[in-house]
Amino acid sequence: MSIITLEGISKVYQTKEIETTALENINLSVYKGEFVSVMGQSGCGKSTLLNIIGLLDRPTSGTVTLLDQNCNALGDTALSHFRNRNLGFVFQSFHLIPSLNVEANVELPLDYASGISGVERRRRVDEVLERLGLSHRKKHMPAQLSGGQCQRVAIARAIVGRPSIVLADEPTGNLDSRMGAEVMDLLHSLNKDDGITIVMVTHNEAQARQTDRIIRFFDGRIIS
C-alpha cells in the first residue's frame, strides 16, 4: 500500500531573470514500511523532493498524496497539523534548539500536538530517550553533546510524536563513520521494529545500499 504518492510533481523556481526547474514531472510511490534512499549529485533536486514530501514546500504542479490524503488541498494550518501528526524530520545539521535542553527538544512536536497530557508527554519523552540511550543526557544542553548524540536527540524528536513517515536529509552527513553507522542502525531499527516508513537523502552509496530501494536523481528527474 502506497503511503507516499507523488504524481506529476514539478517545482520551478522563478526569479526576474531566470527560471530554474528543480523537479520535473516526478512520479513516485513509497510503500508503507519501506526504507527508501534518494541519491544524486548536489543540486539535482533531492532536498526539494524531500521538502515537498514533508509538506514544507508546495509543488508548482502535480499532486502530493500522503496517507491517502491529498495534501494539495490543505491550507497552511491543516498542513502544520498534518506534519505534526504524521511526519518526523531528521536534518543533516541536527537543528536542535540551542536554548532548550535535550528533554525539551525531544518534547517539541508534542508541544504542538493536541490532546496529550503533560504526564503522557513526559512518559513518551522518557520512553524515547531511554530507547535511544539518552536518558542520562536529558538535562544537557545541545552544546554539551557530541555530533552523534545530537543526531540521536534529533531522531528522538522525530519519532516522539509516533509519525508514520520519517524524512531524513543526509542524517549522517555531519558525522564521522562510526557515529554515522550508529545513526543508520538506529534508523533501520525504527524501520524494522516500528514499521516507520523512511525516506532518506544521502550521498553515501554504502548506506543507500542498505535500504530497501534507491531512487537516483539527475537534473530534477528520477533516472532509476
Partner 1 sequence: MKKKLIQIVYDMRTQPVVAWVTIIGTALSIFLIMTVMMMQQVKIISIAPESHRDRMLYGMFLHEDGISSDAENESSAGLSYETAKKLYDKLDGVEEISYVEQGWASLDLKGTNNKKFTGDVLYADDGIWRVFDYELLDGRYYTPEEVDAGTKVAVVSRSTARKLFDSEDALGRRFELDHETYEVIGMVADVSKLTFMAYGEVFAPLDKSKTYGESDSDFGPYMTLMRVKDGVDLEDVRAQVKKRYGELDAEIASRNMKTVYHGAPFDQETVAGGVGGSNITPQDTNGLRIVIYLILLLVPAINLSSMLHSRLRRRVSELGVRRAFGCTRKRIMGDIIVENLIVTVAGGIIGFAVGVLFALFYDGLYTSPDDETVRPALSMLLNWRILLSAFGACFILNILSASVPAWQASRLNPVEAINAK
**Residue ranges binding partner 1 (CB under 8 A):** 51, 54, 56-57, 76-77, 80-81, 83-85, 89, 91, 95, 97-100, 104, 108-109, 111-113, 157, 161
How is residue 181 written as a grid cell? 553507522
- Strand order from edge to edge, sheet including 2-14: 19-31, 2-14, 61-66, 69-70
* C-beta closer to partner 1: residue 10 or 210: 10
Closer CB to partner 1, residue 95 or residue 181? 95
What single DSSP character describes residue 71?
G
Please state the closest distance from residue 95 (CB atom) to partner 1, in A. 5
Outline where the chain has alpha helix (H).
Answer: 46-53, 76-86, 102-111, 118-131, 147-159, 177-194, 205-209
Nearer Cβ to partner 1 (21/210): 21
For partner 1, the closer CB: 28 or 104: 104
CA 93 vs CA 47, 97, 172, 175: distances in Å: 14, 11, 9, 10
Q: How far is the CB of 167 from partner 1 (least distance, A)?
A: 9
- Give least dist CB 157 to partner 1, A: 7
- Work out how close the CB of 77 gets to partner 1 at its nearest, in angstroms, rounded to a whole number: 5
Shortest separation between residue 107's beta carbon and partner 1, angstroms: 9
Shortest distance, position 122 Cβ to partner 1, whole Å: 13
Nearer to partner 1, 144 or 177 (CB): 144
**Long-range contacts at 183-189 (CB < 8 A, ≥ 24 apart):** 183/148, 183/151, 183/152, 183/155, 184/210, 186/132, 186/152, 186/155, 187/35, 187/90, 187/155, 188/35
- Side-chain half-sphere CA neighbours of 169 within 13 A: 18
Residue with Cβ nearer partner 1 (73 or 143): 143
